[in-house]
Structure 1
Amino acid sequence: MEVEQNINLDKADKLKEEANEFFKKQNYVKAITLYSNAIECNPTSAVLYANRSFAYLKTECFGYALEDASKAISLDKTYVKAYYRRAASNMALGKAKLALKDYETVFKARPNDKDAKLKFNECSKIVRQQAFERAIAVDSVKKSVSESINIDSMTVEESYHGPHLVNGKVTSEFMQELMDAYRDQKKLHNKYAFQILLDVEELFKSQPSLIDVSIPDSSKFTVCGDIHGQFYDLMNIFKLNGLPSTENPYLFNGDFVDRGSFSVECIFTLFGFKLLYPEHFFMARGNHESQTMNQMYGFEGEVKSKYSKQMAELFTEVYNWLPLCHCLNQRVLVMHGGLFSRDDITLDDIRTTDRNRQPPEDGIMCELLWSDPQPMKGRSPSKRGVGIQFGPDVTARFLERNHLDYVIRSHEVKADGYEEAHDGKCITVFSAPNYWQVSSFLEYRSQVTCVLFTHKTTKVTADTCSGYQKES
């Protein structure tokens, strides 16, 4: 029996080393598989659970990451990395107070570790800020960030040679100059950046939580998935599929920012086109258009670095007004995440959902932003720790109840950039080809994936620009 255990331990170590190599290459899915195989060989290793927890964090499976980190701690209460992982999981789930306890444990164990101190201090600030906001919310109405901004007091210096708004408005010439400036890694002036945010906030405020979109016969309508701060891939979409216009409408389906290095450039480009073509360019909220995600995955820090804390706060306010989903020709529902924990949800329920807030932990808004499809029937707890996983029967019942043909969603990396599930009734499209920079995604990196919705196409096809074309 002892010989067999040693063989299993040796195999577990070998699998762990293989998994570590895939993790270094950012192939987190393969790493998770190998860590899981290693755990089967050695289920008593806290290191294996903590490593898999880290890989789950990278793939935003926060629920699984939390479970693994807790398991690692139960196996070895002195294993500091496990507390790190659990704290990061709780932060991603918006549970800062729970995260703070673990960051405090790490900081006490490693008082000279700069990163441990930084994480503990950042989390402490967030907890204090949340407590302060709860306190003032009881007795007063918080003044909006937009009300505190005075555009007229901002001066455009003569030394600024970037794009200029014309009478405070976005034009097609401005958008071309803006994209050219961003390609050269130049910056939009502070005054114009604030003007765009204030104007787009007013525009989103005027729109409902569910937007009905009419697409004329023989016209195409392009749906793009996650962009995640990849400006040059965004430019490639426009190069291959054409710039947005009244004749070439787009819907960008959430997660415009975070992870990528050019989130500011992506979001101002998208907001600019929204202002230029308000009836032909659409944007839906993703789970990363939230304060917690932006704090964890880079957007807040990028905005503060390129502009200011005040602008970062304004972005949070603007994101609260992003529509939650779109219905194309009363036939196709497009949302970032997925479907619901109840069968009785209707489109009218979505229309009446209050979205001007941070994403809640459950309910319609949460599930629209966070849920994922699963191959088996029924519903399951989410691998992310938020939302649910829903099966083909759930999709079929929702479509029948609401007289829809299928749903389009994003939210998940797919090796081909898109995936058809649930008998073709649930389509995932993901448009950030360098998201993990995984070697197995090399072929996909040469593509840009989006969806062309048309009336008269006859089959599903894939090419360098379109995820698929779906029969009406």
Structure 2
Amino acid sequence: MARLEMRRRYTLNIFQSIEYAEEQTQLQLSNFFTFMMDHYAQMNEQHPGPDLISDILSNSIEGQKKLLDYETIEVPDSYDGPRLSFPLSVSDTNILLHAFKQEKILHARYVLQLFHEIKKFLKQMPNVVHLTTSYSKQITVCGDLHGKLEDLLLIFYKNGLPSPENTYLFNGDFVDRGKNSTEILIILFAFLLVYPNNLHMNRGNHEDPIMNLRYGFTKEVMLKYKIHAKKILCLLEDIYSLLPLATIIDSKVLILHGGISDTTDLDFLTSIERSKYKSSLKPPRPDSERNILIHKGSGGQQDDVRNGAIVDIRLLDSSLHLPDMTAELTVNEQKEWKQVVDIMWSDPKNQNGCLPNSFRGGGCYFGPDITKKLLDRYNLKMLIRSHECKQEGYELSHNGKVITIFSASNYYDEGSNRGAYLKLCPDLIPRFVQYQVSKCTRKLTLNQRMSAVEDSALRALQEQLFAHRSDLIKAFKEYDPDDTGKISISDWASSMEAVLHLDLPWRTLRSRLARLVSDGWVEYLSCFEDLHIEKSIKAVQPSLVETLYRYKADLEIVFNIIDKDHSGLISIDEFRQTWKLFTSHLHISIDDATIDDLAHSIDSNKDGSIDFNEFLEAFQVVHKFERKDSNRR
């Protein structure tokens, strides 16, 4: 049982470390997406007009007018999905639940009308909502759902639907990763309109258009709603910015998505104009011609944001020869932005103090002393937050004063974790309910389930090794001046952490990642033996293959936006220009001839277009060998 528990812990640690590294990459690259929003159309003379990210996420007055035209969208007789009538009633929520269980899709006309009504409703809400248990007698708090509709339906089945006797608070991160983010938003928004006093929603760090570009929700909306998708996404950007930032129950329990910092000020938080923050990844701009972009902080040049995670506000690299962008935030704007970022991105830690959350790249790590200081200042009893997957669906820290609640079961893979929600009655003693959506795992033994999840985590980790292969080999060779191909276990572990920054128990994982030779040293090239690119691309240097694999998630975002008609095709010229912008931003030195060779190699039928799905497949890492003990699963 001890060995099994150790495997459970390091498996979750692997998944979590890779997830947070991706989030840090997203924060570092958010300035590139901002740059694409504002400047790609200007630089691409062959495709004038705001036809890329800015076209999807633009919030212009003209776009706003179009959003009100949902009444002109006809619902054909052939449509067999749910039909809504406004104002919504309980029967409409039942219709939606029944339809989504049958995997029906709500027509865009109803989606736009629902979202428009929600936008009007949320404008009336305060930044910090105050609730009481004296009316409904209990309040159920749910954490991250991340597009997992089965978990939401299971919560409603076990705990009952929202009603005047059954109040819910959903604590952010409704979307991304899972395949049913749209349905979750529709259900929650519908109940919010029907029971405005009994369903409440806090904003999470994934209620953010830039996060949605990377983690799947934008793509989900585009695939499900096609010609109406841009209107829906534009409206959602406003809705995100209007969601409340925090909730306080009985003046004693503070609930927010991420956490706090040593500068969190609840009084100040109630006064900011939250609608300015369309994305927490970048500060609001004074006007459309000015821009501030985010880079990973290095320790902080500005004292007032030093202990937050986004600690360095700079202009985009001048080597790109862009127009002058000299906007600066006022001291008050910096303080506002930091408040928003910290409550959505921060995580608790066991050590006292407040430090930048370098692991995620956003928010901060806050210790028990920071928690105590805030609770004492506002006469609060506890802090409830979400934001982190926990093996059992919940976790208590800071002497029970901080509770993490996470409601998406099987978050990383089937069997990886339970989900949970908590119930607060007037005594304010949290009562936890755990669950796990089960499909194939219920037929497996405990050890088989653990082996399956462990294998999935190790595969993901091995792919990280491949993506950083050149850097890892360089680090290994520093300990191997005689080029023996062998280094000590200690040097191998140090090299792995120095390159990947994943904070994993490398010595424990060594037996699953690299081979020992007879003298007890690590044969370091064995780390890569199980991995190879599925299809060979001619005339492409190996380092470019590795680079493309490392950044393929970011390239997919950009290319999906360029591919306006969702045909799966982009032109050779679009590929060339986008890749040149991307490599300039990342300071990767690749000459034009190499890019052209790559583009023409991928364009196998020579029709002048690239099927980007084939591009992704061309750089798909596969595992050559199955585990010898796979038959035991």
**TM-score higher than 0.5:** yes
Q: Secondary structure at the match of 1:95?
A: helix
Determine which of 55, 58, 62 is the counterpart of 2:19: 58
* Residues 209 and 30 of structure 1, relative CA distance in 2, 3 Å threshold: closer
Post-superposition Cα deviations, 1:371-427, rounded to whole Å, max 9, x if no partner, equal 110001011220211110000000000011111111100000011101111111111
Per the TM alignment, residue 463 of structure 1 is displaced from its structure 2 partner at its CA by 3.8
The TM-score normalised by the length of structure 1 is: 0.70
Per the TM alignment, residue 163 of structure 1 is displaced from its structure 2 partner at its CA by 2.3
Post-superposition Cα deviations, 1:307-336, rounded to whole Å, max 9, x if no partner, equal 122212221121111110111111111000
Determine which of 453, 465, 472 is the counterpart of 2:424: 453
Per the TM alignment, residue 367 of structure 1 is displaced from its structure 2 partner at its CA by 0.6
1:405 aligns with 2:381: yes
Task: Report the counterpart of residue 231 of structure 1 in structure 2.
Answer: 149
Check whether the contact 1:304–1:311 (CA below 8 A) recurs between aligned residues: no
1:178 aligns with 2:90: no
* Residues 331 and 249 of structure 1, relative CA distance in 2, 3 Å threshold: same
Task: Report the counterpart of residue 589 of structure 2 in structure 1.
Answer: none
Per the TM alignment, residue 263 of structure 1 is displaced from its structure 2 partner at its CA by 0.7
* Residues 431 and 310 of structure 1, relative CA distance in 2, 3 Å threshold: same
Per the TM alignment, residue 237 of structure 1 is displaced from its structure 2 partner at its CA by 0.4
Q: What is the one-letter code of the residue matched to 1:369?
A: M
Question: Gapped runs of 5+ residues in structure 1?
Answer: 1-21, 33-54, 64-88, 101-122, 467-472
Post-superposition Cα deviations, 1:220-279, rounded to whole Å, max 9, x if no partner, equal 100000000000111000000000111101000000000001111111111111111111
Task: Report the counterpart of residue 256 of structure 1 in structure 2.
Answer: 174
* Residues 440 and 165 of structure 1, relative CA distance in 2, 3 Å threshold: closer
1:348 aligns with 2:256: no
* Residues 318 and 279 of structure 1, relative CA distance in 2, 3 Å threshold: same
Report matched runs for 1:119-138 at 5 Å: 124=36, 128=40
Task: Report the counterpart of residue 77 of structure 2 in structure 1.
Answer: 158
Check whether the contact 1:353–1:364 (CA below 8 A) recurs between aligned residues: no
Check whether the contact 1:253–1:283 (CA below 8 A) recurs between aligned residues: yes
Report % sequence identity: 34
Separation of aligned partners in 1, 2:347 and 2:39: 29
* Residues 129 and 273 of structure 1, relative CA distance in 2, 3 Å threshold: farther
Per the TM alignment, residue 191 of structure 1 is displaced from its structure 2 partner at its CA by 1.0
* Residues 391 and 129 of structure 1, relative CA distance in 2, 3 Å threshold: farther
Task: Report the counterpart of residue 257 of structure 2 in structure 1.
Answer: 336
Check whether the contact 2:82–2:104 (CA below 8 A) recurs between aligned residues: no
How many residue pairs get aligned? The number is 358
Separation of aligned partners in 1, 2:80 and 2:381: 49
Check whether the contact 1:287–1:369 (CA below 8 A) recurs between aligned residues: yes
Question: Gapped runs of 5+ residues in structure 2?
Answer: 1-6, 44-48, 284-309, 311-336, 437-633
1:314 aligns with 2:226: no
Q: Report runs of 4+ in structure 1 exceeding 6 Å deviation.
A: 129-133
Q: What is the one-letter code of the residue matched to 2:346?
A: S
Q: What is the one-letter code of the residue matched to 1:188?
A: L
Separation of aligned partners in 2, 1:277 and 1:461: 24
Task: Report the counterpart of residue 348 of structure 2 in structure 1.
Answer: 373
Q: What is the one-letter code of the residue matched to 2:373?
A: R
* Residues 311 and 339 of structure 1, relative CA distance in 2, 3 Å threshold: same
Check whether the contact 2:144–2:386 (CA below 8 A) recurs between aligned residues: yes
* Structure showing greater Rg: 2
Check whether the contact 1:162–1:177 (CA below 8 A) recurs between aligned residues: no
Separation of aligned partners in 2, 1:182 and 1:452: 26
Separation of aligned partners in 2, 1:171 and 1:420: 38
Check whether the contact 1:284–1:335 (CA below 8 A) recurs between aligned residues: yes
Separation of aligned partners in 1, 2:231 and 2:420: 34
The TM-score normalised by the length of structure 2 is: 0.53
Task: Report the counterpart of residue 326 of structure 1 in structure 2.
Answer: 247
Q: Secondary structure at the match of 1:235?
A: helix
1:432 aligns with 2:402: no
Q: Secondary structure at the match of 1:419?
A: strand
Task: Report the counterpart of residue 291 of structure 1 in structure 2.
Answer: 209
Check whether the contact 2:394–2:403 (CA below 8 A) recurs between aligned residues: yes
Separation of aligned partners in 2, 1:453 and 1:233: 20
Check whether the contact 1:241–1:465 (CA below 8 A) recurs between aligned residues: no
Per the TM alignment, residue 94 of structure 1 is displaced from its structure 2 partner at its CA by 4.9
Check whether the contact 1:218–1:455 (CA below 8 A) recurs between aligned residues: no
Separation of aligned partners in 2, 1:437 and 1:130: 42
Task: Report the counterpart of residue 124 of structure 2 in structure 1.
Answer: 206
Task: Report the counterpart of residue 31 of structure 1 in structure 2.
Answer: 14
* Residues 313 and 340 of structure 1, relative CA distance in 2, 3 Å threshold: same
Separation of aligned partners in 2, 1:223 and 1:210: 16
* Residues 384 and 61 of structure 1, relative CA distance in 2, 3 Å threshold: farther
Post-superposition Cα deviations, 1:4-57, rounded to whole Å, max 9, x if no partner, equal xxxxxxxxxxxxxxxxxx9xx99764437xxxxxxxxxxxxxxxxxxxxxx734
Q: What is the one-letter code of the residue matched to 1:324?
A: L
Separation of aligned partners in 1, 2:97 and 2:355: 43
How well do the aligned residues superpose, as a CA RMSD in angstroms? 2.9
* Residues 259 and 395 of structure 1, relative CA distance in 2, 3 Å threshold: same
Per the TM alignment, residue 128 of structure 1 is displaced from its structure 2 partner at its CA by 2.7
Task: Report the counterpart of residue 95 of structure 1 in structure 2.
Answer: 30
